[in-house]
Amino acid sequence: MTASKATTKRAALPWRWIGRRRHFRSRALPGELIKENDAVESIREIASLVRSVAEEVSVDIRNRCYADRFPNGWCQVTSRVMGKLLHNLGEDGFKLVFGKRELVIDAETGRGSEPTHVWLDRDGVIVDITADQFSEEISDPVLVTTDRSWHDTWLDQQEYDLDDVSGQLECALYEAIVDHPAWHIRYLSLPNHSTALK
């Protein structure tokens, strides 16, 4: 009876230790839970590398493509490229999410602007590598999270299927990343990896 109660109490905890890592419980079976957490960590690793390489190559790319200073205005481009890279690595199912804010009037110029933002989402897992362009609100350069609190401040959200990268800026960024030595070392040797744009 005592052992049964102890087992019940342990099972009710919202987390459990696996090795030295604490995994939060979900409705998934134990094996699925481990796989789910490992997938998120893998995506975070990919996103961090993509962000790092994008920062490095963006100066050359924006000079050629007349783009804004990274990460300002790069959210759609990086999200589409990130989605393609994840697809190449077998991480499918992400959607492109567009959101906007209410019209803001500049006090000095009197001009109005409607801020917009784009990120990836798959079953509640958000991948956003340019959120820090809104530096007064977000400081983290890479967000891979299930916490929707900041992204829910973006209104009229619309989801779109990811298609292939296109346009000069997207193709330039994609090619710069897959040609980068850091990407070659970490991912190009994987058997299911593809760098083809089509």
Q: Give me the residue spans of the domains in the chain.
A: 27-188
Instruction: Give the per-residue pLDDT at 177.
Output: 92
Q: Is residue 196 pLDDT above 80, yes or no?
A: no
Read off the pLDDT band of 3 (50, 70, 90).
Answer: very low
Tell me the per-residue pLDDT of 129-174, one tens digit each, with 9 for 90 and over: 999 999 999 999 999 999 999 999 999 999 999 988 888 889 999 9
Q: Is residue 16 pLDDT above 50, yes or no?
A: no
Q: What is the number of alpha carbons within 13 Å of residue 129 lying toward its C-beta?
A: 23
Instruction: Give the per-residue pLDDT at 82.
Output: 96
Cα(58)–Cα(75) distance, integer angstroms: 13
Instruction: Give the per-residue pLDDT at 36.
Output: 60
Crossing angle of helices 168-178 and 75-88, rounded to 10°? 50
Instruction: Give the per-residue pLDDT at 110.
Output: 81
Read off the pLDDT band of 193 (50, 70, 90).
Answer: low
Q: Is residue 67 pLDDT above 80, yes or no?
A: no
Average pLDDT over residues 97-105: 91
Cα(58)–Cα(76) distance, integer angstroms: 14
For residues 40, 47, 139, 124, the Cα torsion angle rounded to the nearest 10 degrees is -40
Instruction: Give the per-residue pLDDT at 190.
Output: 58
With beta carbons less than 8 A apart as the criterion, state whether 15 and 23 touch.
Answer: yes
Q: Which residue has the higher pLDDT, 38 or 44?
A: 44
Cα(96)–Cα(82) distance, integer angstroms: 10
Q: Mean pLDDT, the chain, as a whole number?
A: 79
